[in-house]
Amino acid sequence: MQSIEPHEGHSDERLSKNDQATDLEAGGTESSKEKDASSDIDPTRNANIVDWDGANDPMNPLNWPGWKIKTHIFLISIITFITPLGSSILAPGVPQLVREFHSTNISLASLVVTIYLLGFAAGPLLLAPLSELYGRLIVYHISNILFLVFTIACAVASSMNMEIGFRFLAGAAGSAPLALGGGTIADLIPQEKRGGAMAIYALGPVLGPVVGPVLGGFLTQAEGWRWLFWLLAIVVRVFSSIRSNTTPKKPHLSYKLTNIKLGVIILLSLALMRETYAVTLIGRKTIAQRKFTGNMKLRSKYDRGLSPRQLWYISIIRPAKMLVYSPILLLLSLFMAVIYGYLYLLFTTFTEVFGDQYHFSTGITGLAYLGIGVGNVLGLMCTGIALDKLVKSKSASGEMKPEDRLPPMIWVAPFMPTGLFIYGWTADKDIHWIVPIIGTMLFGFGLIATFMTVQVYIVDAFTIYAASGLAANTLLRSVIGAVLPLAGPKMYQTLGLGWGNSLLAFIALVMCPIPWVFYHHGERIRKSSSAVF
């Protein structure tokens, strides 16, 4: 990691207050290239201020070759798929795990799945500030290594307490792409072109938890719950000889293939990924020019003269501050958090509903999660097409603003309560299994549209603070996603599947008008609250 002088940090806090207000209030309507161009031709610009060398500076990530940009987006999207997959892959194996550890506590059985999400909540509070101080790349690499270490620790845990502790740490390490991915895409692609990339990126945190139980169901049935973690780990030859007493002697074929695939992806990220954060890149450029010219008065255009300690303090409290002072971020994040909690509530109850009520085997129960997955894919396609059309029409008229991202969420959000009603009452009345799965498909359709729309909106609306905005969003949804499923078994015991899911549906229905309100009034609210960041 490159050292920096106390007054030459790598934080977006170094913008002047006027620059901050301009960037945030613009909401990304002006592309980064246009901003760079305008700064370069500014006759009043201080000669000691270091910036990009014009709008076409090849060092600017916005000007990287197309293959390089696509490679970065592909790797980040794949990693963003893998780490959320780890959050739910254990769900089908929980009954086997609690039997091995001689536990009869129902809440503890749910906690061993959802504790991973508390790691997702805690991780961004540390990783987002670190990325703004030292850049995104080093945070990605260290987090990937730690994710590997803690996932292997989960595979060899010898008690329930160890399993829960290592699951938490794995979740914290695996939260890096969730906290930083949207900001990385914003570094690489201007606003008017980033819809497709954000759609691919947003699919990972939703589709990963759906695919996890499908793999987990069959693998638990065939090889045992410990192999769920070996599946996630990047296993090299030295680890192939490490086995606990409960693991099979011969690696399962899918295990081998998956680990080769994961290993290749991580190695590619180490070899091909580069720093994309403009604040860090301009900071390094400033240091290099000082050494070359001997002019110690040179400073980055982002430099505000704050010490690393001051920058750390400001960066670490910013996500919480954004939640408190931005009604838009708070309510949209709350909406996403509630439905994300519903997703994990369904994950922790599918085994009982389809295993006990519909008499599915452990492997086949995993297939019940595909309803949500199919809905995710359909929602991604429809929302992506709608966003592209909206962006093209607004960009052509020169009126593009972040709130123009919200209409797909307005149209599709009602699918979530509808799906919950169908799932709950058809399962309650023991109607053919395909009908409740169709209900979960409708829920998944609305879920991905909401998730993708909110992610893109946060990146567009908070520009240079996108990492902190996404960290705040991840914090809230991960906490609720971890806590809500703990109340699920008791709720269903009291209300039953029909009224229990109806209660969830009514809450979601009440929240559906939120994007409509911000579509019409969001710009005014956003501008009035942005100055405090």
User: DSSP letters of 415-454?
Assistant: HHHHHHHHHHHHHHTT--THHHHHHHHHHHHHHHHHHHHH
Q: What three-state secondary structure class fits 256?
A: helix
For the chain, give percent helix, strand, coil, nearest 5: 80, 0, 20
The residue ranking higher by pLDDT, 257 or 105, is 105
- Look at residue 505 in the predicted model and tell me its pLDDT: 94
Confidence of residue 249 (pLDDT cuts 50, 70, 90): very low
Is it the case that residue 363 has pLDDT exceeding 80? no
The residue ranking higher by pLDDT, 262 or 64, is 64
Amino acid (one-letter) located at 24: L
What does the H/E/C string look like for 162-218? HHHHHHHHHHHHHCHHHHHHHHHHHHHCCHHHCHHHHHHHHHHHHHHHHHHHHHHHH
Is it the case that residue 378 has pLDDT exceeding 50? yes
- Look at residue 419 in the predicted model and tell me its pLDDT: 94
- Look at residue 235 in the predicted model and tell me its pLDDT: 36
CA atoms within 13 Å, Cβ hemisphere of 121: 19
Q: What's the CA gap between 499 and 491, in Å, rounded?
A: 9
Q: What three-state secondary structure class fits 299?
A: strand
473-519: pLDDT as tens digits: 878 887 887 788 778 778 888 888 899 999 999 999 999 999 999 98
Contact at 8 Å (CB) between 126 and 248? no
- Look at residue 2 in the predicted model and tell me its pLDDT: 35
Q: Which structure tokens are listed for 147?
A: 């994710």
Q: What's the CA gap between 286 and 14, in Å, rounded?
A: 14
Q: What three-state secondary structure class fits 50?
A: strand
Average pLDDT over residues 262-273: 69
- Look at residue 365 in the predicted model and tell me its pLDDT: 72
CA dist 225 → 155, 258, 482 (Å): 8, 16, 21
- Look at residue 219 in the predicted model and tell me its pLDDT: 58
Residue position matching structure tokens 């959802």: 114
Q: Is the dihedral of CA 238, 239, 244, 245 positive or negative?
A: negative
The residue ranking higher by pLDDT, 320 or 217, is 320
Is it the case that residue 96 has pLDDT exceeding 80? no
Is it the case that residue 361 has pLDDT exceeding 80? no
Contact at 8 Å (CB) between 517 and 328? no
Residues in the chain: 533
Q: Which structure tokens are listed for 99?
A: 């039997």
Average pLDDT over residues 453-480: 79
CA dist 335 → 24, 200, 420, 453 (Å): 23, 21, 16, 12
Q: What's the CA gap between 446 and 61, in Å, rounded?
A: 33
Q: What's the CA gap between 221 and 426, in Å, rounded?
A: 27
Average pLDDT over residues 342-351: 79
What does the H/E/C string look like for 350-392? HHHHHHHHCCCCHHHHHHCCHHHHHHHHHHHHHHHHHHHHHHH
Confidence of residue 441 (pLDDT cuts 50, 70, 90): very high
Phi, psi torsion values for 284, nearest 5 degrees: -65, -40
% of the chain surpassing 90 pLDDT: 11
- Look at residue 36 in the predicted model and tell me its pLDDT: 42
- Look at residue 512 in the predicted model and tell me its pLDDT: 92
The residue ranking higher by pLDDT, 29 or 210, is 210
Cβ atoms within 10 Å, residue 107: 12
Confidence of residue 6 (pLDDT cuts 50, 70, 90): very low
Is it the case that residue 398 has pLDDT exceeding 70? no
Residues paired with residue 299 on neighbouring β-strands, in sequence order: 49
Q: What three-state secondary structure class fits 107?
A: helix
Is it the case that residue 253 has pLDDT exceeding 60? no
Q: Which structure tokens are listed for 521?
A: 């009034």
Contact at 8 Å (CB) between 53 and 424? no
- Look at residue 220 in the predicted model and tell me its pLDDT: 54
Is it the case that residue 440 has pLDDT exceeding 80? yes
Q: What's the CA gap between 140 and 269, in Å, rounded?
A: 9
Instruction: Spell out the long-range contacts of 287-291 with Cβ–Cβ below 8 A and sequence spacing 24 or more.
Output: 287/2, 287/4, 287/5, 287/8, 289/50
Confidence of residue 45 (pLDDT cuts 50, 70, 90): low
Contact at 8 Å (CB) between 421 and 440? no
56-80: pLDDT as tens digits: 888 899 899 988 888 888 888 888 8
Contact at 8 Å (CB) between 306 and 314? yes
Is it the case that residue 234 has pLDDT exceeding 50? no
CA dist 129 → 198, 294, 299, 466 (Å): 22, 31, 21, 12
Residue 480 CA, distance from chain mean position: 15
- Look at residue 185 in the predicted model and tell me its pLDDT: 87
Is it the case that residue 164 has pLDDT exceeding 60? yes
Q: What three-state secondary structure class fits 481?
A: helix
| Domains (range + CATH), the chain | 62-273+317-530 (1.20.1250.20)
The residue ranking higher by pLDDT, 258 or 27, is 258
Confidence of residue 371 (pLDDT cuts 50, 70, 90): confident
- Look at residue 224 in the predicted model and tell me its pLDDT: 52
Q: What's the CA gap between 150 and 173, in Å, rounded?
A: 8
The residue ranking higher by pLDDT, 263 or 325, is 325
The per-residue DSSP string of 140-164 comes to HHHHHHHHHHHHHHHHT--SHHHHH
Confidence of residue 25 (pLDDT cuts 50, 70, 90): very low
Average pLDDT for the chain: 75
Q: What's the CA gap between 155 and 45, in Å, rounded?
A: 57
Confidence of residue 283 (pLDDT cuts 50, 70, 90): confident
Contact at 8 Å (CB) between 60 and 36? yes
Q: Which structure tokens are listed for 89?
A: 């892959």
Strands 299-300 and 49-50: parallel
% of the chain surpassing 70 pLDDT: 75
Q: Which structure tokens are listed for 453?
A: 């729309």
Average pLDDT over residues 411-436: 92
DSSP letter (8 states) at residue 58: T
Average pLDDT over residues 384-389: 74
Confidence of residue 122 (pLDDT cuts 50, 70, 90): confident
Q: What's the CA gap between 191 and 405, in Å, rounded?
A: 11
Confidence of residue 178 (pLDDT cuts 50, 70, 90): confident
